[in-house]
Amino acid sequence: MKLYGRYEVLEEIGAGAMGAVFKGRDPVMDRVVAIKTIHASALVGPMAEQYRERFTREARAAGRLAHPGIVTVFDAGVEGETPYLVMEYVPGRTLEEVLHSGEHYPIDKVCEIGQQLAEALAYAHANGVIHRDIKPANIQLTGTPERAKVMDFGVAKLTQAQVTSTGTLLGTPAYMAPEQFTGMPLDGRSDLFSLGVILYWMATGDKPFSGDTITAVSYKIVHTEPIAPRQLNPGLPQGLETVILKCLAKDPAARHQTGDELAADLAALRTSQPTATASGIPAAPAANTGGTISSAATVPLSASAQMRRSGTQAPPQPPAPAVPPSASQRTGAAPASRAAAPEVPRRVVPPAQPQRSSTKMWIYALAALLVLAVLWGAGVAKRNRQLAAEEAAHQQPPPAPAVPVANAQQPSAQTPASTTPPPATAESTSPIPAETRPAAAGKPPAPAKLERPAETATRPPQPDVSGFPLRLEVTATAPASVEITADDNPVQMHSLGNGETLRAGANKILQVRTDNAGALHLKLNDRQMPDLGPMGSPRTVRYTARNLAPGAGEEAQQSAGAAGPQAGAAKSAHVDVEVSNLPRFADFAVVLDGTPLFERKGRMEGGAEPLSRIESIPPGTHTIAVFIGNRIAMKGVRHEVTGEFAAGQTRTLRVNSHFEGRRAPGMFMFDLSLD
């Protein structure tokens, strides 16, 4: 039996890139414990000392914390060359396992878990510890009913001692706050941003910031706003959406300033709405329709939060020694209910303020001015060249009368039209400018009129996509923001105005995401694609080589060539199936007149995704049925719609889907329309 100190190893219960976790037994205290170690491969090479320091930091940071929402650390030591950490053994499952399994909590449970985590983080921050890696894999759910516990302070930052080197990136990118990418100082509000990402996933079934690469994820976290949670889950209360978006604010000053404030808001949501059931999520009460939640409301907090606030209910005491102001007092956003009594003195070290270098600021300013000056000079030189070229063209002598180019287009003198002046359109269609055409007989030529060219906003040149198998052209009829992902390349952001066009090319896949679907017209390889949706609506669509495949009727028409009207009559129709928010774990099937058209089987994954597919069908009147659920058990929801399809016509079958509660036959809801 392997031993670490006096602790006996029973079995391995987990492993990661840094080390392993074993289930063990403490023979002295006669209790089951968890033993965390470092891999031997991590203890050699240039990173060995950093891993040892990080492991020691975990023991020092977590050892000072004793809270029901934090896994307790009992002991630490070294067995041979292997450091180990002895912790409380917590049976259960991680929140990551729950979310990836597709299980969905009701709103009341989402608020309860969020409140427990916020109170645990408030306690850790009050003791000078920042976790910096809050994610579902580090949250253990245990007990009946389940309670959340925070694990793994392996990358925690002690606010009283800078122990990491400048520029080191620690954490999981999808859950990191913007300031962790930009290098700004961190405090407890960074952990609250990560908790907001978790609440967003629990409430909607999808992550707010996703991407194929770390660069794409970090760009979205720093620069883009997430989709409003209620667009992904219409059954979500307005109040919870407000709390989640406040947690995800780019500016730390716009977030909740402490974990206690966030816990109070979530507790207020729990007390202001009826208990949610497994069959669905209830709508928000009228009191929360405005989206504003007061963190000063009287709400049931946990014992630890009440202990930290118990000083506001105690009788007057002698004045306490001066302490640094709290985060809410520094920002001037203290709740009205706390203004009546002083805040309980708390040993909190204020976060370090960023050190700004005036020299660097001046260098950046001068560099920006230099770039602007170069651009302005280039624009002036280009404009002068255009004016000089136009003036030189006007100074050229008029053409000889023997070559009357303009007169060649005049009507004969014997026709009645010869006595009337030519229409205005003849002037515009003449190949010779009006200023250089010969004057009429007996009239001196009019002086040349020099006009300044119109100043138009220049956009960067469009890329050459002629060599790509997939060539997309996007034209906007109204302002719209467009994100284009080509194959595995990073996301490209564009802002289009009325009448503007952009092009993109890819080898296999093109994905387009916009906030104004009705403003875009798309062509794939010079072939017009179906409209994305109404004005002002968001939409995501994927194009592959399948979208270019012609229908059976089209192939017949192409092979027949100019075979006459009978070949055109055989042209097929098309149905464009567009699904929004389709659950990944559900089966999806489309049936045409009782015959399956196509089917997408569910996967053991959580969340939802859009679906777009074009199918060829014969012309005529058809009944199309859509099924979402479990095809094997035949449990789910089925709707159908009937419509007329003409030859060569493409009609869009829209499926607006959302789902609620845990997995059950009645959890699927969708609307069906044929445009």
Domain ranges in the chain are 3-88, 94-309+327-333, 470-548, 566-674
Cβ–Cβ < 8 Å for 624, 549: no
Q: Measured in Å, how far apart are the chain's first and last C-alpha atoms?
A: 70
Predicted pLDDT at 165: 37
Q: Is the pLDDT of residue 207 over 50?
A: yes
Handedness of CA 182, 188, 192, 198 (dihedral sign): positive
Q: Report the pLDDT averaged over residues 401-405.
A: 43
> Which residue's entry shows tokens 């777009």?
612
- Contacts of 204 by beta carbon, 8 Å cutoff, 6+ apart: 229, 232, 233, 236
Q: What phi and psi values does residue 487 have, to the nearest 5 degrees?
A: 55, -125
For 486-550, the DSSP string reads: ETTSPPEEEEE-TT-EEEEEESS-EEEEES-GGGEEEEETTEEPPP--STT--EEEEE-GGGGPP
Q: CA-CA distances (angstroms) from residue 59 to 35, 83, 379?
A: 12, 11, 62
Predicted pLDDT at 60: 77
Catalytic residue selected from 75, 108, 133, 251: 133
Predicted pLDDT at 252: 94
Question: Coil, strand or helix: which one is 457?
Answer: coil
Q: Report the pLDDT averaged over residues 150-167.
A: 52
Q: CA-CA distances (angstroms) from residue 225 to 228, 465, 663?
A: 9, 30, 30
Q: Is the pLDDT of residue 358 over 80?
A: no
If we measure between CA atoms, which residue out of 330, 332, 252, 333 comes closest to residue 294? 333
The 10s digit of each residue's pLDDT in 566-588 is: 344 347 888 888 887 888 888 89
Task: Give the span between the Cα atoms of 341 and 323, in whole angstroms.
Answer: 15
Predicted pLDDT at 164: 39
Predicted pLDDT at 555: 38
Better pLDDT: 103 or 430: 103
Radius of gyration of the chain measured on its C-alpha atoms: 34
Determine the residue type at 499: G
Cα atoms in the Cβ-side hemisphere of radius 13 Å centred on 546: 10
Task: Sheet with 82-88: list strands edge to edge.
Answer: 3-4, 7-15, 19-26, 31-38, 82-88, 73-79
Task: Give the span between the Cα atoms of 667 and 581, in whole angstroms.
Answer: 14
Predicted pLDDT at 453: 44
For 231-262, the DSSP string reads: HH-TTS-HHHHHHHHHHT-SSGGGS-SSHHHH
Count of Cβ atoms closer than 10 Å to residue 405 Cβ? 12
Determine the residue type at 168: T
Q: Which residues pair with 150 in a beta bridge?
A: 70, 139
Predicted pLDDT at 396: 55
Q: What phi and psi values does residue 205 have, to the nearest 5 degrees?
A: 85, 10
pLDDT grade for 136, boundaries at 50, 70 and 90: very high
The pair of three-digit structure tokens given for residue 173, joined into one six-digit string: 């990118």
The pair of three-digit structure tokens given for residue 245, joined into one six-digit string: 């978006």
Q: Is the pLDDT of residue 291 over 60?
A: no
* Of the listed ranges 64-73, 236-245, 552-561, the one predicted with least confidence: 552-561
CATH: 3.30.200.20, 1.10.3720.10, 3.30.2350.10, 1.10.260.40. Which one for 3-88?
3.30.200.20
> Which residue's entry shows tokens 């205005």?
424
CATH: 2.60.40, 2.30.29, 1.25.10, 3.30.1330. Which one for 566-674?
2.60.40
Q: Which residues pair with 20 in a beta bridge?
A: 15, 37
pLDDT grade for 200, boundaries at 50, 70 and 90: very high
Report percent pLDDT > 70 for the chain: 68
- Pair type for strands 3-4 and 7-15: antiparallel
If we measure between CA atoms, which residue out of 105, 106, 102 comes closest to residue 281? 106
Predicted pLDDT at 550: 60
Predicted pLDDT at 459: 61
CATH: 2.40.50.140, 3.90.79.10, 3.40.140.10, 1.10.510.10. Which one for 94-309+327-333?
1.10.510.10
Q: Report the pLDDT averaged over residues 629-647.
A: 86
Better pLDDT: 5 or 433: 5
The pair of three-digit structure tokens given for residue 504, joined into one six-digit string: 């993109």
pLDDT grade for 9, boundaries at 50, 70 and 90: very high
Enter the DSSP assignment of 43.
G
133 is an active site residue = yes
Kindly provide the b/e burial profile for residues 154-192, where b requires at least 16 CB atoms within 10 angstroms of the residue's own CB. bbbbbbeeeebeeeeeebbbbbbbbbbbeeeebbbbbbb
The 10s digit of each residue's pLDDT in 483-493 is: 898 887 887 88
The 10s digit of each residue's pLDDT in 452-503 is: 444 444 566 788 888 788 899 999 998 988 989 888 788 788 888 888 998 9
Predicted pLDDT at 598: 83
Kindly state the helix (H) or strand (E) to which residue 63 belongs, with its residue range.
helix 48-63
Enter the DSSP assignment of 132.
S
Q: What torsion, rounded to 10 degrees, do the Cα atoms 248, 253, 259, 261 define?
A: -100
Mean model confidence pLDDT for the chain = 74
Q: Is the pLDDT of residue 536 over 70?
A: yes
Task: Give the span between the Cα atoms of 63 and 56, in whole angstroms.
Answer: 10
Task: Give the span between the Cα atoms of 371 and 363, in whole angstroms.
Answer: 12
Report percent pLDDT > 90 for the chain: 25
- Contacts of 165 by beta carbon, 8 Å cutoff, 6+ apart: none
Task: Give the span between the Cα atoms of 502 and 494, in whole angstroms.
Answer: 9
Q: CA-CA distances (angstroms) from residue 617 to 567, 626, 675?
A: 16, 16, 16
Q: Is the pLDDT of residue 161 over 60?
A: no
Question: Coil, strand or helix: which one is 75?
Answer: strand
Tabulate helix, strand, coil % of the chain (nearest 5).
30, 25, 45
Q: Is the pLDDT of residue 223 over 50?
A: yes
Question: Coil, strand or helix: which one is 70?
Answer: strand
pLDDT grade for 266, boundaries at 50, 70 and 90: very high
Determine the residue type at 473: E
Task: Give the span between the Cα atoms of 144 and 122, in whole angstroms.
Answer: 24
Q: Is the pLDDT of residue 336 over 60?
A: no
Predicted pLDDT at 494: 87
Determine the residue type at 500: E
Kindly state the helix (H) or strand (E) to which residue 304 belongs, with its residue range.
helix 303-309
State the burial class of residue 646 (Cβ atoms within 10 Å of its Cβ: 0-12, 13-18, 19+). exposed
Q: What phi and psi values does residue 656 have, to the nearest 5 degrees?
A: -95, 100
Predicted pLDDT at 398: 52
Q: CA-CA distances (angstroms) from residue 406 to 395, 414, 435, 475, 476?
A: 19, 18, 12, 38, 40
Predicted pLDDT at 607: 78
Task: Give the span between the Cα atoms of 406 and 338, in whole angstroms.
Answer: 87
Q: Is the pLDDT of residue 115 over 90?
A: yes
Stated pTM of the model: 0.43
